[in-house]
Structure 1
Amino acid sequence: MTSPAFDVGPPARAVGVYVALTIGTLIALIVLTSSAPGLATDEAWGHAVVVAAFAVLLPLRLRAARRSRRALQAVAVIAGVLVAVNVVEAALPGVFPAWMRLEMVATAVVMVLVAFLTVRAGRR
């Protein structure tokens, strides 16, 4: 018995946007660390490290999701958790610099798209 094949192309493109956003965030933090240290806080670095870990994990889960419904569900769950965490962190007053809060909102929007596309791929 073979496992069903899932079309993970659309969610993979959205995850690619997330990975690009994460790389951009890390580059911004590296530049800001030397040019404007007040905008590259320890909290911002902590957030970026966690985001970077998920930027590695999500493509790996998507690769497995081509043949595994559980892996596809894991991508949707991870995306949902990232939406919640980023929205909550962006709403915390005074914890993160304004540019990082905008990045968090952008990440949440991309993760809503990932979750939607992943659920849709599982229903086809």
Structure 2
Amino acid sequence: MVNSNPVARRAPNLGLVTRLVYGYVGLTAATLVALAVLSVLAPQQATAEAWGHQVIVAIFAVVLPLRVRAARRGSDRALRAVTIIALVVAVVNLVEAFLPAFPLWMRVVMVAVVLLMAALAGVATGRLAARTTS
């Protein structure tokens, strides 16, 4: 039996995109836990700026899986949104990694986020191109 659903035929494998997004979600959760622990043990390492940044990052950690889920159902717009969000998060984290308001450990996390989001944007762009050419 042949699958006649055009969306199912067009949807490329988004397994790597999904894993990268959930890697970001895990890193975000771990960073929130680290901030909570440091707030008690070393408050100078859990600055207000770090908390503000991480709360915004956590919002994207909620939005990205929702967009990936829609992309897995065949939505090109959702996959494009994943790409745009990844690029914005990467650029913002890259800029903020050089600001003195953040503790060193947080800057290291920001660089990790930049690398993760750059990989996500690259893979998502490739998958989007595969969808539009088939």
TM norm structure 2: 0.88
Q: Which runs of 5+ in 2 are unaligned?
A: none
Q: Displacement, 1:98?
A: 0.5
Match of 2:56 in 1: 50
Contact residue 75 and residue 118 of structure 1 kept, 8 A = yes
Count, aligned residues: 123
Contact residue 72 and residue 122 of structure 1 kept, 8 A = yes
Contact residue 12 and residue 62 of structure 1 kept, 8 A = yes
TM norm structure 1: 0.95
Match of 1:82 in 2: 89
The structure, 1 or 2, with the larger RCO (C-alpha pairs under 8 Å, 6+ apart) is: 1
Q: Displacement, 1:16?
A: 1.2
1:121 partner amino acid: R
Runs of 4+ aligned structure 1 residues displaced above 6 Å come to none
Distance (Å, rounded) in 1 between the aligned partners of 2:42 and 2:127 = 43
The structure number with the bigger radius of gyration is: 2
Q: Displacement, 1:54?
A: 0.5
Percent identity over the alignment is 50
* Equivalent in 32, 41, 56 of residue 35 of structure 1: 41
Q: Which runs of 5+ in 1 are unaligned?
A: none
Contact residue 6 and residue 65 of structure 1 kept, 8 A = no
1:11-48 CA-to-partner distances (Å, cap 9, x unmatched) read: 11111111111011001001000000000000000011
SS in 1 for 2:11: coil
Q: Displacement, 1:123?
A: 2.2
Match of 2:105 in 1: 99
Q: Provide the alpha-carbon RMSD of the alignment.
A: 1.1
Distance (Å, rounded) in 2 between the aligned partners of 1:108 and 1:38 = 24
